[in-house]
A and B are shown apart, each in its own frame.
Chain A
């Protein structure tokens, strides 16, 4: 069995007396993609936060590269890309300055060049000098995707990456995910409804009331589409 890049073992989380996640087991290897669907309050964002090491679980283990997510060394943290509902972008910096800053944090050579390249990739070259505060919701979401992927991480966690995007934005982010999988990254994402990305096989999980249903492999040959919205 290949070593898991992303793994949850009997992962559980309680907020006070309320269980939000119950004994979730999940395993994702290099080059594999998975999507977790579920309604509001199902526990999707909580699961991603635990796997990213933002919060500590009440029980069980959240592992990245076989190490507890909250105990990753700097070298391992460099291999993780996270996209959440919060964009992690500085509103008073321009789109270019934000990417340049994150490129410097992740020790990329020529941060300015990397920022320019990724702005072009997410279709924001024309808005490079705009402050994030002035960007639309969809533009900020695309920039957030560029921020999460600029260092080409091996473990990618994305909480509703297509939320707020128009069809062009969905195609751009979908292409970035496909490219990451081709690069042998493991990609775990969430969505309200089922999603498919052209030519990409995704394991599909359903999260309901904190319980994760068994996976089903899915391949779509059509264009990226949202089957149930969200």
Chain B
């Protein structure tokens, strides 16, 4: 646990020092929401387009966040030192996942605020009910993107490879997330969100377990 915290503290310190990930994630979320709010017809300002727009922003910002969390390790070959140190690769993955999740969560809070403003929604209990859906989605996507970023970072076409791998694999969770978010924003009862939340939770377990078990094999050099 101490080693996990040491890696996470180092990643957060690097981020606080540069601010690049958070600024880029928030800017990207803002850009996507602005484009969508103007691209959608005026009649389509209900909760479903808002939920869809929020998840599009989350997917793109999540890919950026996961890439950033691992790219710092590629500078000066630091990932080699991490893998050769007496730290379990699964612990390295857990620390990287935690960092990517925190970056995404910060960006998502900003994206929710912008969504409320752009789609004329009301701040209130419905937004609070949206939080667990978004946090589950962010955890699942951060888990998947961190694992895939470790693979794609080793290839020259890594920036292209990551979205090509991550988006199709995340589609089932994405559908569940959009549906659960729309239900939360529409103020539907918890039972209406329940099935979608279970799907999100199942994908979270799948992605986190896969990353935890496979990171050792994808982060090395051969």
> Chain A: residues with CB nearer than 8 A to chain B?
52-56, 74-75, 77-78, 80, 82, 84, 86-93, 97, 101-102, 104-107, 147
With a cutoff of 8 Å between Cβ atoms, the chain A residues found around residue B2 in the complex are 104, 107
> Chain B: residues with CB nearer than 8 A to chain A?
2-3, 6-7, 10, 13-14, 17-18, 72, 75-78, 80-82, 84-88, 221-222
- Closest A-B pairs by Cβ, 3 of them: A86-B77, A88-B81, A104-B6
Q: Please tell me if the beta carbons of B10 and A90 are within 8 angstroms of each other in the complex.
A: yes
With a cutoff of 8 Å between Cβ atoms, the chain B residues found around residue A77 in the complex are 84-86
Q: Please tell me if the beta carbons of B88 and A90 are within 8 angstroms of each other in the complex.
A: no
B151 to chain A, nearest CB (A): 18
Question: Assuming the A-B contacts A88-B78, A90-B75, A92-B17, are A101 and B84 also in contact, with contact meaning beta carbons closer than 8 angstroms in the complex?
Answer: no
Cα-based distance from A52 to B77 in the complex (angstroms): 14
A94 to chain B, nearest CB (A): 10
Q: Please tell me if the beta carbons of B18 and A74 are within 8 angstroms of each other in the complex.
A: no
Question: Assuming the A-B contacts A84-B77, A86-B76, A105-B3, are A93 and B13 also in contact, with contact meaning beta carbons closer than 8 angstroms in the complex?
Answer: yes
With a cutoff of 8 Å between Cβ atoms, the chain A residues found around residue B85 in the complex are 77-78, 102, 105-106
Q: Please tell me if the beta carbons of B18 and A92 are within 8 angstroms of each other in the complex.
A: yes
Specify which of B6, B76, B84 is in contact with A91 (CB 8 Å cutoff).
B76
Cα-based distance from A78 to B81 in the complex (angstroms): 11
Cα-based distance from A101 to B222 in the complex (angstroms): 26
Closest chain B residue to A140, Cβ basis: B76
Cα-based distance from A30 to B17 in the complex (angstroms): 42
Cα-based distance from A78 to B84 in the complex (angstroms): 9
**Chain B contact residues, majority secondary structure:** helix
Cα-based distance from A59 to B76 in the complex (angstroms): 29
Cα-based distance from A89 to B73 in the complex (angstroms): 9
Question: Assuming the A-B contacts A55-B222, A90-B10, A90-B14, are A80 and B84 also in contact, with contact meaning beta carbons closer than 8 angstroms in the complex?
Answer: yes
Closest chain A residue to B88, Cβ basis: A74
With a cutoff of 8 Å between Cβ atoms, the chain B residues found around residue A93 in the complex are 10, 13-14, 17
Q: Please tell me if the beta carbons of A105 and B72 are within 8 angstroms of each other in the complex.
A: no
Cα-based distance from A90 to B17 in the complex (angstroms): 12
What are 13 contact pairs spanning A and B, CB under 8 A?
A: A52-B84, A74-B88, A75-B86, A77-B86, A80-B84, A87-B77, A88-B77, A88-B80, A90-B14, A90-B75, A91-B76, A97-B10, A105-B86
B72 to chain A, nearest CB (A): 7
A188 to chain B, nearest CB (A): 15
Question: Assuming the A-B contacts A93-B14, A107-B2, are A87 and B84 also in contact, with contact meaning beta carbons closer than 8 angstroms in the complex?
Answer: no
Closest chain A residue to B3, Cβ basis: A105
With a cutoff of 8 Å between Cβ atoms, the chain B residues found around residue A87 in the complex are 76-77
B90 to chain A, nearest CB (A): 11
Residue from B3, B75, B82 having most chain A Cβ neighbours under 10 A: B75
Cα-based distance from A228 to B222 in the complex (angstroms): 35
With a cutoff of 8 Å between Cβ atoms, the chain A residues found around residue B75 in the complex are 90-91
Cα-based distance from A101 to B2 in the complex (angstroms): 11
With a cutoff of 8 Å between Cβ atoms, the chain B residues found around residue A92 in the complex are 14, 17-18, 72
Q: Please tell me if the beta carbons of A89 and B87 are within 8 angstroms of each other in the complex.
A: no
Q: Please tell me if the beta carbons of B10 and A101 are within 8 angstroms of each other in the complex.
A: yes
B203 to chain A, nearest CB (A): 31
Cα-based distance from A88 to B81 in the complex (angstroms): 6
Q: Please tell me if the beta carbons of A89 and B78 are within 8 angstroms of each other in the complex.
A: yes
B194 to chain A, nearest CB (A): 42
Cα-based distance from A53 to B80 in the complex (angstroms): 10
With a cutoff of 8 Å between Cβ atoms, the chain A residues found around residue B82 in the complex are 105
Q: Please tell me if the beta carbons of B84 and A105 are within 8 angstroms of each other in the complex.
A: no
